[in-house]
Amino acid sequence: MENNTFNKMPTALLFDSVNNKRQATQQSVLENALLASKLGILMAVKTDKYINFRHDIVELTGRQVIALTSILDEYFNVNMQQEVRDLLIEPNMPDTVSNDSALLDGLNKQTQNENNQGLFKRIKRFFGRQRA
């Protein structure tokens, strides 16, 4: 992952993932609006660059991904190094997906229809299908 290239990340899946991890460690679930505003402010304070986590997808440089992982650890008490990496859509992937809304539509359908599947398996399989 290069530090000067952007990686996309779907925020809804990030929030789900944070809450799954918090629940797994007997911590309270947080509402999405709170997660979005806290992350936006904390990213701005820690990296000098504001990122709006209310958007469906955020774009992060390698440095910002590291900052996000550290913020999640410090301010949300969850170690999500691996999960954050799994949520990233690598920079070359959007070539096969026409735009973000198509990307999200597909993701939403997947998540609605296959609730029993693991979150990250669903994401990976979706992108695998897009590439094919």
Partner 1 sequence: MGKIAHKGGQTFIGGLNRVFHCNHYNAHLQMSILMSEGISGHVPERLLVDAVSPLIKYLMKEGYTETELLYEFSFCGFGKLKQLNEEYWVTPFSHYGDSTYTHGKPGKVAYFNAGYVQGITQFFTEQSHSKLMDDDNDQYHVNTEQANNSESYFAYDVELSEPPPRFEFKDCIPCRTGIDENAVIQAVSSLPLFGRLGKNDTGLINAFGVVLTNHFADYYNRISYQTYFAMTQAGIPEEDVKEIFIQSGHVCAFNTFGGIMSSPEWHAVVEPMCKGREDWFHGMIAVINALGWGLYRIEKIDIEKEFIVRIYNSYEGVGYRRMYPITEDKSLSFLAMGAMLGLVHLLWKVDIRDKPSLDHDFYVSQFNNPENSYGVEQTDAIAAGDDYDRIVVYR
Q: What's the min distance (Å) between Cβ of 23 and partner 1? A: 10
Residue 74 contacts residue 13 (beta carbons within 8 Å): no
Q: What's the min distance (Å) between Cβ of 51 and partner 1? A: 10
Residue 29 in the binding site for partner 1 (CB under 8 A): yes
Q: Which stretch binds partner 1 (CB under 8 A): 34-42, 81-89, 90-98, 114-122?
A: 34-42
Residue ranges in 41-80 that form contacts with partner 1 under rule CB under 8 A: 41-42, 44-46, 48, 50, 52, 73-77
Q: What angle do CA 8, 13, 15 make, to 5 degrees?
A: 110
Residue 119 in the binding site for partner 1 (CB under 8 A): no
Residues that bind partner 1 (CB under 8 A): 27-34, 37-38, 40-42, 44-46, 48, 50, 52, 73-77
